[in-house]
Amino acid sequence: DAGITQSPRYKITETGRQVTLMCHQTWSHSYMFWYRQDLGHGLRLIYYSAAADITDKGEVPDGYVVSRSKTENFPLTLESATRSQTSVYFCASSNLDRIYGYTFGSGTRLTVV
Amino acid sequence: GENVEQHPSTLSVQEGDSAVIKCTYSDSASNYFPWYKQELGKRPQLIIDIRSNVGEKKDQRIAVTLNKTAKHFSLHITETQPEDSAVYFCAASSATRFGAGTRLTVKP
């Protein structure tokens, strides 16, 4: 869906570097989420946000930082990338009632070398 | 926190047969249970969902059933077709946790 976009689609970075993944939605959804998807582990929640300036840890938050100064943006930062953070990262959003469920972005494939 | 278990991890059926995927959850406060289909290299997409005040929901060849007492819900796909081949994920709402996924293969 064009309403939620992630950038970049692909990223290669070196161990120890900081990298930021961007997520932007145009629906004014209150909830936004970051998941990582690794083979054999399904979708694991990293962080989520219920509204601007409100964020909470998910299942696997270590090594990640999020912020949400505006409702439409929810960037995910890897402060010092490690090889174990090589993964596909999906951003998702939903309204309060989840009328349309969680809508996912196209994903960012991150490789840490 | 919420824990969602999904079974089986892989499922292979003949075209035209039915497929059933089951999920259990731990948090009785969960009240929303979506199912997602993810094709290779694509994003997960919502195919059907159910809320805790409903026991069953159907949409053409797919249906979801919910047993709140037992804390489990299931996805049923009838008259399977090769294009149903994908990974299917369930989720429970209280912590937006997803199951580990089921790889469904429909053999023509």
pLDDT band per the 50, 70, 90 thresholds, residue A2: low
Residue B73, pLDDT above cutoff 90: yes
Using a CB-CB distance cutoff of 8 angstroms, which residues of chain A are in contact with residue B34?
98, 101-102
Which pLDDT belongs to residue A95? 84
Residue A1, pLDDT above cutoff 80: no
Using a CB-CB distance cutoff of 8 angstroms, which residues of chain A are in contact with residue B3?
none
Residue B42 phi, psi dihedral angles, 5° rounding: -110, 175
Which pLDDT belongs to residue B78? 98
Which pLDDT belongs to residue A96? 72
A91-to-A65, A98, B24, B34, B74 alpha-carbon distances in Å:
14, 15, 25, 17, 25
Residue B2, pLDDT above cutoff 90: no
d(CA A89, CA A45): 10
Of the candidates A40, A100, A105, the beta carbon closest to that of B46 is on: A100
Instruction: Report the residue count for chain B.
Output: 108
Tell if the CB–CB gap between B93 and A98 is shorter than 8 Å.
yes
Which pLDDT belongs to residue B95? 52
Average pLDDT, stretch A29-53? 90
Residue A53, pLDDT above cutoff 90: yes
